[in-house]
Structure formats: structure tokens, C-alpha cells
Structure 1
Amino acid sequence: MLNIVPLTAAAALRRQGQQSLLAAGRTATVSTWAQVPQGPPDPILGVTEAFRADRDPCKMNLGVGAYRDNDGKPYVLSCVRKAEKRLLDKSMDKEYLGITGHPGFVQRASKLAYGADSPALAESRVAATQSISGTGALRIGGEFLSRYYPYAKKIYLPTPSWGNHTPIFRDSGLEVGQYRYFDKTTNGLNIDGMLEDLQNLPANSIVLMHACAHNPTGVDPTAEQWDQISQVIKDRDHFCFFDMAYQGFASGNVDRDAQAVRQFVSRGHYVALSQSFAKNMGLYGERVGTFSLVCQSTEEMKAVESQLKILIRPLYSNPPLNGARIVNQVLSDSTLYSEWLSEVKGMADRIISMRTALKDHLVNDFGSQHNWDHITNQIGMFCYTGLKPDQVEKLTKEHHVYLTKDGRISIAGISSRNVEYLAQSIHAVTK
């Protein structure tokens, strides 16, 4: 007797297509991937591609989220160059790291984030692993919460948030919700709406917070507002997942930029943290970061760490070596560390100075009647200009200034040579 195996839906679809073609008297092969739809282009990469195709000498690319020096060139930190040379001179091997990465790097990165005097670190209550930069850390955290957080399978993001947050967490198995954050009428923080939404979320919700230099708005809570946020999260038993991509790069001070994370831990929150060294050490292509989670005890930390290893092993087995060695060298050497603190402050100060110059040109040189205080009130690499989509389109088409459709600009793309032109162009489209 014949064993008849039922067709899968995909196989049935292919057969139906083949039969249709044959019935039409044509000979053809239906591709296995014929049903795969064309995906949309990446919004940031699309901006860069359009910028490269433009031949106008005044063109500006304000979409890319990478630091540029005052000549518009990629910047490699001096302390990084020196650390690389020292490592090269040691003729070290290229063996695999362990699943959780370079131990010295992970330890020193955690100390940088939580503070040298952190009780959680002193009591061995922080489970930490090296990650493939901040994106990888977020994915590890999303996967871990999806598997082991017992109260919810949904994470709430600020509105707006970094565009990659939603797909990262959805692909990790979490639903994604929103809470109010940015106030379009003031180009500042909607603290009342934020607190109200956090209060009304189901108890024990997972909430993502930007530790500093909120991307894309550049709007951060004040210390007093962080206190209010912490209290609501504590009252509702929410779990806070911090994304810290800009420590030191936002204000120029690594301790100030880690204030929110340390404040929450000191108040008894058992937070998760994504940490990146892409921006603050300029190690974009080295993909250096950590994921960590504050636990209640050493025993709990060991259990969490064991599951992180099990989670990571089939994802990418173990992380890259070179970038972790560089960061460890910088953080462990007092001379290089001091040089890094000076350099990261210099990068932050240049961005702050460009904010001031842009606002001054708009108000004082071109007499704009709009309120541009938000340019200097916001912080970090990005600024939410408040430009409308039609103004963004005119800025690009008529003035060759490239930015994302939501009006976000990268302040790092501005220099002393083009800031006046940018102000003139913004004034022209907002008059």
C-alpha cells in the first residue's frame, strides 16, 4: 500500500504554481524564494547613500550616528592607538575567549558603569558578560527576559526610541509597548505623561530607559525627575532595563552620565544594563560592549550567569577579542585612562560647542523668531530639531543637508566650517 505524505503549505503552493505554468503551456521553474518580499531600505543608510550621490560642495550628512572631528573625518582616539600598539608589541595569540568574554574587560567595564564603590559589585551580585556592542547586549537581555522574567513578556519603550530597539526585542520574543516621553510642543521631556504612563502600566512590567543622551531626541530627565521615575517604578514593581550607549560622551563626565543607573541600583532596583564602547572610545567596528544584570545574591548571580552562557553559546559562541583587549588596556592603565577621560570630554565639548554655535547663528545672525532653546537644552550626539517632514524635504532638496525624516540631526556631523551654512539653511526652511 502506498504511504501518502501530505504536502506542506509551502510545497502545495509551489506545486500549484508549477501546475499553473505547465497548464499555460510554458516550462519554468518556480524559485523556492519567489515569495520573499522586498524589504524596505534602512532609513539611516538611505540618507548616507543619497548624500554620497550628491555632488554639491555644500552637502552635509547629519544622519550618521558616528563622531566626526572638526574636519568631518572619522576620529580614532590617541589612547586607543597607544593601547593597540602595546598589544601588538606583546605578540599575543588569537585564541578563543570564553563564552562571557574577556574577564578583565568585563570586570573593568562593570566598574565603570556601576561605580568603583558599588556594593552590588563588592558583594558579587552582578552577572555580566561581554557582548557584541550595545546591540548585542540588548539582544542578550531581550532573550534572557523572554525566557526567565516570570511576570511579563512585554517591554515598554519611550516614544520615540532608537529605531533598532523594537526589532531587537520583537526578535527576542518580547512584545513591545510604548510610554510617553518626548513633548513635541516644547521639544523637551513630557515628564507628567511619562510618570502617568509608568504608573498605569501593569505591575511588574519591563521598562526600557536610556541612561543618558536619549536617542533620538537628546532629551534626558534631570536628577530630580530621575528620582520621580525611580519611585514610580519602585511603587509598581517594574523592572528597568537601561541602555547606556554614551557614557562620558554625553556630558564629558563618565560618572555624571552613569548617574541614573547608579541611582536606581542604590535605591534597590535590580536593573539590567546594556553598555557600549562604540561612541565613547570610537570603537564602532570593534563591536565592544557588555550586558549585565544586578541580582539579589551571589548564588542568584551564578545561576543567571550560567543561563547567559547557555543563551550565548548557540548565538555566537564567544565574542570578539581585539576590541575587548583595547578597552581593558585603556581602563587598566592609569595614564591611558586619564588620557581617555580627557579625549572623551573633548569629543563631548566639541558637540556642545556646535549646539551653541548653531543656536547663536539662528537667533543672532539670521534673526529666527522660533525658540531654539531645545538645541542647547538637549544633550549628546543627536538633536531633535522639531523640523516638520516638508521642511526636512526642502532642507535636503534645496540646501543639500541630509537628515532623517523625523528631523533628527547628528550634531557630530557639524563643524565650525559648516555650522553657519546649516543655520542659514534651517532658517530658510522655517521662516
Structure 2
Amino acid sequence: MLNVETLYVTNPPYINHVNMIESRGFNLKYINFFDYNLIDINYDLFLNDLRNIPNGSSVILQISCYNPCSVNIEEKYFDEIIEIVLHKKHVIIFDIAYQGFGHTNLEEDVLLIRKFEEKNIAFSVCQSFSKNMSLYGERAGALHIVCKNQEEKKIVFNNLCFIVRKFYSSPVIHTNRILCQLLNNQNLKLNWIKELSQLSQRITNNRILFFNKLETYQKKYNLNYDWNVYKKQRGLFSFVPLLAKIAEHLKTHHIYIINNGRINVSGITKNNVDYIADKICLSLSQI
């Protein structure tokens, strides 16, 4: 029995995590994660917080393409994370909404989860197929709970059945059939993996093209920002805190980004990238 009262999320958080946690009456606390000066994860602060929160804490970790910051936890830190979790007996809830977008293949994006399983650590995974299967309007996903033994598995299963019966009783079936057909047919699955890899590579190319264009257009406005640091980001978005300052102004040029500086690079193309880069640099020159 966990008796969870508090959930920890990495900072800055995915805003829907905050809304969901608070709406269910849990206490919400933050652990350090993204460093706005480094434009990357501050591993010293992150791991230190993971060590110093109370034993048995419940922590939500995004597994790849961290939203909103578009970063992946580096593999070289996996063993240290596992060591801390084992020692502190933390309960990890993995959120994976972008499998296939963080690395060149699906398995690399879930390597930390695999390592948890190898160590026989109990954990949960909240998985979404909305983006990687282009089923956004269908709310396709799965909840995986890895238990330590059969007895624990039975208890968890019975509790889930009780919750589901009160919550939605029976899930929709047509989306499940789409997923099952795709994953159980080897040819369809291989085609999906191939097309997802192509999509992921296109987004990566978009990101590099976008920041290369910013490097070019900033000269027109006598700006001198370092855009290289953003080229290694992953996923559908790029997180550029600098752009938060001009988010409202960009609307006058019909460019729409999140107010924290997150921009959807999947919507950038060779046909619009010059316009976008030029107007961003123009707006930056006016602040």
C-alpha cells in the first residue's frame, strides 16, 4: 500500500501533469531538471534532488523528448538513476508519449524502462500512441504496471478493474482494433516503424534547417545569438526560452508558439522556414 499523497514532477513540468495531479487532490512538488542557462538537463541538481526527496517518493519521469524542453536523459546517467531509485525505494511513473521521436529507433527511446525491468524494479508506464501512430483524436494508449511478483500483480490487477469499472467501464474498441492489427501484423508493423523513422528524421532535419536559417537571418538585424545549442533537441518541438519574450508579438506575423518559447518544428517546411526565421529575428531585434 503506497498511500501516495505527493507526486514529484521535473521542472519545468508538462502543464497537463500539473492539472491532472492537482485535480485529483495530490500534493505537487518539483525536482530540478532543466537548466535555462545550459539549455539542457542539469544532472547534478536533478540527481541530487532525486537522492534527497523522502524515501518511497512517487516521481513522474518523461522517458524521451521531454515536454516542454525537448531533451532526452542521457544513457550514461541511467545506472546512477537506477541506483538512487533502488536505494531510496522511489516509485517511478514513466510517461512516454513520443517513442520513436527521440532516437533513430523505438528501442533506444525505452532503454531506461528496459533497464528498470532487468533490475526487477516495480514501476508504471503511461504510454500514448497519439503521435507516433497519428491517432491523436482517438486517445490511443496503454497503462503498463510492472510488479515484483505474482501476488503483487494480482492485487494491482483487481484494483485496476475496480477503478476502470467506476471510471469508464468499457474502453472504446475501434482504436484498440487498429492498434492490434498494426502491431500483430509483421508487415504492417515493419512499415509503421519505417515510416515513423522517416517522420522522425524529417523533423530532425526541420529543426537543423530552422536554426541554420536563424543563424543566417540574425545577421540582417545585427543579432548574435547562439542557435547551435538547440540543434541537438529532440521530438516534435524545440524549446527556446528566448522566444517567450516575443511570443505575443509573433502573432502579428501569424506565427504561433507556446508562451514559454516552445515551437512546433514539425510544422516548419522549406516553403515557410525563411519567413518564420526572418520574422523571429525581426521581432528579437525590437525587444
After TM superposition, the score normalised by the length of structure 1 is 0.63
- Does 2:284 match 1:421? no
Match of 1:393 among 233, 236, 248: 248
SS at match of 1:377: coil
Residues 299-350 of structure 1: per-residue CA shift (max 9 Å, x gap): 3212211110001101110111011100110111111011000111111111
Instruction: After TM superposition, list the pairs within 5 Å mapping 1:160-239 onto structure 2.
Output: 160-239=12-91
1:32-431 aligned at under 5 Å gives the runs 148-150=1-3, 152-364=4-216, 366-367=218-219, 368-397=223-252, 399-431=253-285
Tell me if the contact between 2:56 and 2:90 (Cα under 8 Å) persists in the aligned partners: yes
* Contact 1:286/1:322 (<8 A) preserved: no
CA distance in 1, matches of 2:114, 2:177: 26
Q: Which has the higher contact order (CA 8 A, sep 6+)?
A: 1
Offset at residue 228 of structure 1 (A):
2.3
**RMSD across aligned positions (CA):** 1.5
Structure 1's unaligned 5+ residue stretches are: 1-147
Question: What do the CA deviations read for 1:248-300 (whole angstroms, capped 9, x no partner)?
Answer: 13324110111121122223321111011100100111211111111111232
Structure 1 distance, partners of 2:208, 2:42, is: 23
The one-letter code matched in structure 2 to 1:371 is: D
Q: Contact 2:250–2:256 at 8 Å: present in 1 too?
A: yes
Q: CA deviation at 1:420?
A: 1.8
CA distance in structure 2 between the partners assigned to 1:244 and 1:186 by the alignment: 24
Distance 1:343 1:298 in 2: 38
Q: Which 10-residue stretch deviates more, 272-281 or 233-242?
A: 233-242
Output one character per residue of 1:38-76: Cα deviation in whole Å (capped at 9) or x when no partner.
xxxxxxxxxxxxxxxxxxxxxxxxxxxxxxxxxxxxxxx
CA 1:241 to 1:410, structure 2 compared with 1: closer, same or farther past 3 Å? same
Distance of 2:243 and 2:128 partners within structure 1: 31
Unaligned runs of 5+ in 2: none
Whole-Å Cα distance in 2 between the matches of residues 171 and 229 of structure 1? 29
Residue by residue, what CA displacement relative to the aligned partner does 1:99-143 show, whole Å, maximum 9, x if unpaired?
A: xxxxxxxxxxxxxxxxxxxxxxxxxxxxxxxxxxxxxxxxxxxxx
Contact 2:218 2:224 in 1 (8 A): no
Q: Deviations over 1:132-177 (max 9, x none)?
A: xxxxxxxxxxxxxxxx424x41110011121110121222332111
Query: Structure 1 runs of 4+ off > 6 angstroms?
Result: none
The answer (yes or no) to whether the contact 1:252–1:347 under 8 Å persists in 2 is no
Check whether the contact 1:211–1:244 (CA below 8 A) recurs between aligned residues: yes
Q: For residues 270 and 79 of structure 2, what CA distance do their matches in structure 1 show? A: 38
2: CA distance, partners of 1:362 / 1:180: 30
Q: Percent identity?
A: 31
User: How far has the Cα of 1:388 moved from its partner?
Assistant: 4.8
Q: CA offset at residue 419 of structure 1?
A: 1.4
Give the letter aligned to residue 141 of structure 2.
Answer: G
8 A Cα contact 2:120 2:148, kept in partner: no
Contact 1:155 1:207 in 2 (8 A): yes
Quick one: which amino acid aligns to residue 320 of structure 1?
A: V
Aligned partners of 2:217 and 2:281 also within 8 Å: no
Letter of the 1:380 partner, please give it. G
Q: Quick one: distance in 1 between partners of 2:37 and 2:257?
A: 21
Q: Report the count of equivalent residues.
A: 282
**Structure index of larger Rg:** 1
Please give the alpha-carbon distance, in whole angstroms, between the structure 2 residues aligned to 1:310 and 1:215.
31
The alpha-carbon distance between structure 1 residues 388 and 249, as it changes in their structure 2 partners (threshold 3 A), is: closer
Asked whether the 8 Å contact 1:205–1:239 carries over to 2, the reply is yes
Q: Which amino acid aligns with 2:236?
A: M
> Contact 1:252–1:344 (CA<8 Å) still a contact in 2?
no
| SS at 1:335 equivalent | helix
